[in-house]
């Protein structure tokens, strides 16, 4: 979900950029420099995962996965998503420089919100965790669509219908993101729970949560 260059008004762009810079600074502070290589490789995995196209009916959609990004990275989601958006802008011209702040906010703010909302569910029993994971994936997309819609409406009243249509168009995406997030969390709980927040698993003598960048 990107807002293209040249659509939003100057105040919205400036506000989004200020917000994104502040939150990215917080994320970078929490991301100690010896965790950057791990965060970088995980960030690459998210970048590739967001290029995966899953079919819906005759069409297809690409994954967003900002719910899982939030669960796995916490506040580090801000710098990681900002970097992914820079790469998308340079490699594919999706988004650009002036809308980078707003687009970071659209993708990363729901990620951090979902991290706080759903971490307690993920470590509970199977059924609770699955329900939490589904809600995490679906709500992250819903929040993203709502922030994007808000950015459009603050630009001009004329965008009211466009933004409502935008949120409407993401209902199916929400459901599929929820399903994928649910299965993905189920998989991670079985295969490598130390990636998920709230699971303390010692692994090869290293300190707990080797890749859970959110641990520190």
Partner 1 sequence: MISETFAFGDSPIHRMDPRLRVAMAIFFSIVTAVSNRFPAVCLALFMACGLLGLARLPLRPVLNRLFLVNGLVFFIWLVMPWTYQGTPLFTLGPLVIAEEGVRLCALITIKSNAIILALIALTATMPVATLGHALHHLRVPGKLVHLLLMTYRYIFVIETEYQQLMRAARIRCFKPGTNLHTYKTFAYLVGMLFVRAAARGERVHQAMICRGFNGKFICLHDFSFRQTDRAWAAAMGIGLIGLGVLEWTPII
**Which parts of 41-70 interact with partner 1 (CB under 8 A)?**
41-45, 47-49, 51-52, 54-57, 63, 65, 68
Q: Are 104 and 46 in contact (CB under 8 A)?
A: no
One of 98, 150, 167, 198 touching partner 1 (CB under 8 A)? 98
Q: 172: Cβ–Cβ under 8 A, 6 or more apart, which residues?
A: 56, 61
Strand partners, 60: 55
Interface with partner 1, residue 141, by CB under 8 A: no
- Gap between the Cα atoms of 73 and 43, Å rounded: 9
Considering beta carbons, is residue 122 or 211 the nearer one to partner 1? 211
One of 77, 82, 109, 112 touching partner 1 (CB under 8 A)? 82
- Gap between the Cα atoms of 39 and 130, Å rounded: 25
Q: For Cα atoms 67, 151, 167, give the angle at the middle one, nearest 5 degrees.
A: 55
Instruction: Give me the least distance between CB of 138 and partner 1, in Å please.
Output: 13
Instruction: Give me the least distance between CB of 124 and partner 1, in Å please.
Output: 19
Instruction: Give me the least distance between CB of 96 and partner 1, in Å please.
Output: 5
- Gap between the Cα atoms of 176 and 141, Å rounded: 10
- Gap between the Cα atoms of 89 and 85, Å rounded: 6
Interface with partner 1, residue 2, by CB under 8 A: yes
Interface with partner 1, residue 112, by CB under 8 A: no
Interface with partner 1, residue 182, by CB under 8 A: yes
x/- mask, partner 1, residues 9-48, rule CB under 8 A, reads -x--x----------x---x--xxxxxxxxxxxxxxx-xx
């Amino acid at each position: 979900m990107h807002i293209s260059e040249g659509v939003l008004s100057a105040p919205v762009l400036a506000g989004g950029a200020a917000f994104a810079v502040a939150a990215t600074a917080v994320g970078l502070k929490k991301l100690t420099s010896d965790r950057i290589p791990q965060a970088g490789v995980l960030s690459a995995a998210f970048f590739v995962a967001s290029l995966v196209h899953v079919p819906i009916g005759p069409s297809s959609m690409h994954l967003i996965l900002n719910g899982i990004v939030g669960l796995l990275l916490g506040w580090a989601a801000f710098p990681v998503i900002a970097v992914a958006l820079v790469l998308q802008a340079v490699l594919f011209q999706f988004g650009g420089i002036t809308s980078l702040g707003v687009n970071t906010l659209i993708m990363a703010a729901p990620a951090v919100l979902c991290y706080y909302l759903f971490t307690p569910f993920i470590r509970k029993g199977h059924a609770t965790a699955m329900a939490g994971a589904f809600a995490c994936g679906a709500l992250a997309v819903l929040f993203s669509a709502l922030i994007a819609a808000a950015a459009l409406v603050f630009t001009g009243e004329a965008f009211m219908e466009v933004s409502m249509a935008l949120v409407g168009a993401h209902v199916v995406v929400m459901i599929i993101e929820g399903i994928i997030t649910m299965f993905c969390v189920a998989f991670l709980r079985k295969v490598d729970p130390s990636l998920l927040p709230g699971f303390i698993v010692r692994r090869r003598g290293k300190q707990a949560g080797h890749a859970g960048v959110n641990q520190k």
